[in-house]
Structure 1
Amino acid sequence: MERLKDKVAVITGAGSGIGRSAAELMSREGARVVVADHNTRGAEETAALVEAAGGRALPVTVDVTDEDSVAAMVAAAVGEYGALHVLCNHVGGTDPRKDLDLLRMDMDEFDRAVALNVRSTLLGTRHAVPHMIRAGGGSVINTASVAALVGDVLQTSYGAVKAAVVSLTKSVAVQYGPRNIRCNAIAPGAVMTPALENNLPEDVVEALKKGNALPRLGTPEDIGHTMVFLASDESRYLTGQLLVVDGGMTMQSSAAPGRRAMLP
């Protein structure tokens, strides 16, 4: 299939996990991809995987919190491929050792979270939009989180900054919809990325599984396929929306896992 034929896609955080999956899947659908990451080796490895499968990929090292670096990333994409149609603002996260409850959270970590999640999304979009206008339109895909939708006992910063990403998504959709630019966000639930596996104990992972309506946690491919859909013309009438891709984590009653155990 070539759902993204002739499209150029920039994907940040593509050196591993969900970003890597998105790069591979978009390439498989015909896109020429820019694999952007602060980890040069990771970006190069993803690009090699894409090209080994017959696609075209340009690895770019980027600091998504630095405007000059982001501008250079976008310029590299347009310089290599001549246009830009899709931007995935995927970089984000916080340090769970510092992003605690309100009274114990590290304020320097909060500032870092704002830069890594909100500033990065704003900068990427700010520099991509003019090229999308020249191309006749485009799709901006932001990675939010279910943390933007619910309260938690920890990760105060993470929930706040991801909620800001959702708000920014809606503003961009309204401001540039008349120029045929769509902007949507994805709220992943628990996804088995290297970051999750390295930071969560096994008992917490099992508890997350029990909290899902589906009998498993997500995979990077689950989110990558959603990104492909939002990048494609199949979603051409969808903008300003938050797609919750969480296996049913946030939609079910907190009592559901216990009641399920009561069923024959």
Structure 2
Amino acid sequence: MSNVHAPAHAHATNALPIDEQLVLVTGGGRGLGAAIVKAFFHEGADLVINYRFSADAAEELAEAVRARGGNALAVEADVTDFRSVVAMFDAARAEFGRPVSTVVNNALVDFSFNGDERERADEIAFESLAQQFRGTVGGAMHVIQAAMSGFREIGSGRVINIGTNLFQHPVVPYHDYTAAKAALLSLTRTFAKDLGPLGVRVNMVSGGLLRTTDASSATPESVFDAIAASTPLGRVTTPEEFASAITFFASPASRAVTGQNLVVDNGLVMD
């Protein structure tokens, strides 16, 4: 019997296996984003690799996925520009003939991880925070809102936001970055509440320093060693380990999970 007239919440248990999904990763051309793309490729998903400036890296990654039997499309879009984001989703539908089912909000707009050079609390301007809010919160909002027509068509959807363990362990004065990610956690929970009746699950995965990405490549080995010594497992998390945790939130195994923040840092922070 058709369920075309069923209320929206009747679709809440819909959960596509990852190998039947089309997954969009923002900032997916390099660093952690590339590791996330590869993790979903290994799970059998089709992929949309968003980039802003890293065209060559994104195209090379898409080509590598296709060379190994997968399906991937690299698409340029500035997540702070809603029209650009909508155009990206239109390009994905045109290429794959179906809507995006999972989005990973990984893009980090105009930020440098240089702890020794960051502005301190008594000198940072609000504009620095506003810039990060535009990229982190505004970018995620644009992606989620552009995905909603497809989520409604499918009857479900997955949103996975990337956070930080600096909420709980603010060892570096990244005031603007951390404040924006904290706001993204709040958005994760309010959107989870609002979109749940449509079968859309919204979660966050948070980490700390990763060994090694573009962002952490200049980190002294002594810092990695100190972090490893502070974790119960005696290790620094790799991008691949972090990305593996992200795929859980796109899988049917997480169908009863929404509004949560999973910290993946080998136990450095226990929330």
TM-score strictly above 0.5: yes
Find out whether 1:230 has 2:246 as its counterpart: no
* Residue in structure 2 matching 1:91, options 98, 107, 120: 107
Range with greater deviation from structure 2 (149-158 or 218-227): 149-158
Structure 2 gap ranges (5+):
1-15
- Report Cα offsets for 1:120-179 as digits up to 9, x if no partner: 111111111221111110100000111123334511112111111100001111011011
Range with greater deviation from structure 2 (188-197 or 114-123): 188-197
How far is the alpha carbon of 1:110 from its aligned partner?
Answer: 2.4
Find out whether 1:183 has 2:197 as its counterpart: no
> Residues 138-153 of structure 1 correspond to what in structure 2 (within 5 A)?
138-153=157-172
Counterpart position of 2:226: 207
Q: 1:84 aligns to what SS in structure 2?
A: coil
Query: Structure 1 residues 219 and 168, CA, compared in 2 at 3 Å: closer, same or farther?
Result: same
Q: 1:111 aligns to what SS in structure 2?
A: helix
Matched letter for residue 107 of structure 2: V
> Residues 111-260 of structure 1 correspond to what in structure 2 (within 5 A)?
111-251=130-270
Q: How far apart are the structure 2 equivalents of 1:189 and 1:213?
A: 15
Counterpart position of 1:79: 94
Q: 1:231 aligns to what SS in structure 2?
A: coil
* Residue in structure 1 matching 2:77, options 62, 69, 86: 62
Q: How far apart are the structure 2 equivalents of 1:27 and 1:75?
A: 21
- Report Cα offsets for 1:86-138 as digits up to 9, x if no partner: 00001126324464321133544323211221111111111112211111101
Q: 2:18 aligns to what SS in structure 1?
A: coil
* Residue in structure 2 matching 1:36, options 34, 50, 61: 50
Give yes or no for contact 1:99–1:158 (8 Å, CA) kept in 2.
Answer: no
Give yes or no for contact 1:132–1:138 (8 Å, CA) kept in 2.
Answer: yes
Q: How far apart are the structure 1 equivalents of 2:43 and 2:217?
A: 31
Range with greater deviation from structure 2 (201-210 or 14-23): 201-210
Give yes or no for contact 2:79–2:142 (8 Å, CA) kept in 1.
Answer: yes
How far is the alpha carbon of 1:200 from its aligned partner?
Answer: 2.1
Q: How far apart are the structure 2 equivalents of 1:117 and 1:76?
A: 23
Q: 2:249 aligns to what SS in structure 1?
A: helix
Q: How far apart are the structure 2 equivalents of 1:48 and 1:179?
A: 35
Range with greater deviation from structure 2 (138-147 or 41-50): 41-50
Counterpart position of 1:27: 41
Q: How far apart are the structure 2 equivalents of 1:127 and 1:106?
A: 31
Give yes or no for contact 1:99–1:110 (8 Å, CA) kept in 2.
Answer: no
Identity of aligned residues (%): 31
Matched letter for residue 250 of structure 1: V
Q: How far apart are the structure 2 equivalents of 1:37 and 1:29?
A: 22
Counterpart position of 1:100: 119
Question: How many pairs align?
Answer: 251
Give yes or no for contact 1:85–1:139 (8 Å, CA) kept in 2.
Answer: yes
Give yes or no for contact 2:263–2:270 (8 Å, CA) kept in 1.
Answer: no
How far is the alpha carbon of 1:250 from its aligned partner?
Answer: 1.2
Query: Structure 1 residues 209 and 104, CA, compared in 2 at 3 Å: closer, same or farther?
Result: farther
Q: How far apart are the structure 2 equivalents of 1:198 and 1:112?
A: 24
Structure 1 gap ranges (5+):
253-264
Matched letter for residue 17 of structure 1: G
Q: Which has the higher contact order (CA 8 A, sep 6+)?
A: 2
